[in-house]
């Protein structure tokens, strides 16, 4: 039985750990493993190579993905689904293990509904995949962001500045909320709640009036902002589109810093973490979680559990329907964000 593996969407710490685990577990089932290069593009372009114990040795701790990745969606390519089906038939592929986030797994869901044998693994630093408690890559991104916030504290206090730290999070604020709480941020702004800059400025002014000489503001890149009470909130973009045709985000931290300084008179700087959050070695937690996902995904193929995704529930790895996992994004609930708000100021 031949099983293909792909990694789609943005890169993420822990991808190589999943690939390694799938290949190791495949030996027990007698599967022949194939690696598809650059996500779904590997099927569209018939670009692949054999995965073996030797080719996946020594990759557990490495960031990125040895398979490469892209945001190509077969359903947005002319005759994409038919080309994928032909490639699967031509290469004798019994099943595909798709490791990815919102876009990759949404495509996997549609392909499964078209009769293809697909198993999913939830990958994203944003932690926005439904039906699982955590995605791998999230813990690493939070650790990186928290370390950055810790470092910003010391320089903000020394110079008596306000420092805005912009973190990733297109639609959800999990990274901002977790890293903000862990790093002791004074304000956390997330996509789930449009940011009122008047209230942000008033909050920072109250802090300074109470004797605080610096403030740390953490903002997710997809946070919508209101420049004034009579304006609609807006998403800040660079004006360009990414590979998936979505607006490329960026700049909310810069606008926020400018507005805070203009409204308060306090010197304000911005630090944009960007792709630093995606890179480098995964944390031990993500290595273990990714490994457990990979083993379970391979077992799902062996059991014929297609149209499903490996998921974490409590401390157990279970199988859930791909449709349930991709029906909507998992957003930061209000009651969880209220925990962060206890410490604002």
Per-residue pLDDT, 245:
73
Please report, for the chain, the start and end positions of each structural domain, with discontinuous segments joined by +: 2-137+282-326, 141-278
The class level of CATH for 2-137+282-326 reads alpha beta
Point out which residues pair with 226 in neighbouring strands: 196
Topology annotation, domain 141-278: Rossmann fold (3.40.50)
CA-closest candidate to residue 330, choices 124, 24, 141? 124
Per-residue pLDDT, 325:
97
Give residue-wise pLDDT tens across range 43-54: 999 999 999 999
Is 24 annotated in a binding site? The answer is no
Is 279 annotated in a binding site? The answer is no
Give residue-wise pLDDT tens across range 266-275: 999 999 999 9
Is 86 annotated in a binding site? The answer is no
The CA distance from 254 to 236, in Å, is 10
Q: What does pLDDT average to over the chain?
A: 95
Scored b (16 or more CB within 10 A) or e, 235-245 reads ebbeeeeeeee
CA-closest candidate to residue 116, choices 97, 133, 100? 97
Question: Which residues are catalytically annotated?
Answer: 126
Confidence band of 318 (pLDDT split at 50, 70, 90): very high
Is 167 annotated in a binding site? The answer is no
Give residue-wise pLDDT tens across range 141-173: 999 999 999 999 999 999 999 999 999 999 999
Is 314 annotated in a binding site? The answer is no
| Residues 6+ positions from 112 with CB-CB distance below 8 Å | 118, 306, 307, 322
The CA distance from 294 to 291, in Å, is 5
Is 212 annotated in a binding site? The answer is no
């Amino acid at each position: 039985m031949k099983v293909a593996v792909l990694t789609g969407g943005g890169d993420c710490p822990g991808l190589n750990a999943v690939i390694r685990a799938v290949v190791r577990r495949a030996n027990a089932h007698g599967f022949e493993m194939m690696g598809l290069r650059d996500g779904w593009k590997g099927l569209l372009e018939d670009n692949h190579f054999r995965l073996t114990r030797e080719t996946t040795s020594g990759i557990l701790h490495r960031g990125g993905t040895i398979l490469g990745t892209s945001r190509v969606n077969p359903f947005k390519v002319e005759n994409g689904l038919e080309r994928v089906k032909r490639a699967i038939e031509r290469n004798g592929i019994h099943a595909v293990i798709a490791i990815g986030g919102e876009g990759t797994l949404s495509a996997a869901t549609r392909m499964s509904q078209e009769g293809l044998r697909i198993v999913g693994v939830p990958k994203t630093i944003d932690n926005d995949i439904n039906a699982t408690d955590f995605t791998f890559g999230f813990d690493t991104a939070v650790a990186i962001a928290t370390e950055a916030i810790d470092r910003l504290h010391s320089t903000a206090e020394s110079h008596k500045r306000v420092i805005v730290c912009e973190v990733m999070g297109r639609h959800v604020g999990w990274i901002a909320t977790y890293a903000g709480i862990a790093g002791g941020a004074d304000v956390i702004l997330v996509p789930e709640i449009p940011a009122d800059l008047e209230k942000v400025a008033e909050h920072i002014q109250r802090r300074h009036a109470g004797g605080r000489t610096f403030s740390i503001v953490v903002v997710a890149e997809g946070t919508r902002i209101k420049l004034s009470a009579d304006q609609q909130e807006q998403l800040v973009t660079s004006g360009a589109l990414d590979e998936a045709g979505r607006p490329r985000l960026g700049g909310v931290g810069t606008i926020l810093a400018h507005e805070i300084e203009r409204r308060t008179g306090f010197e304000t700087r911005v630090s944009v973490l960007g792709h630093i959050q995606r890179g480098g070695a995964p944390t031990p937690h993500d290595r273990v979680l990714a490994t457990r996902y990979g083993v379970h995904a391979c077992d799902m193929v062996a059991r014929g559990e297609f149209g499903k995704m490996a998921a974490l529930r409590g401390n157990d790895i279970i199988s859930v329907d791909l449709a349930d996992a991709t029906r909507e994004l998992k957003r930061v609930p209000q009651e969880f964000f209220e925990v962060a708000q206890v410490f604002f100021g």
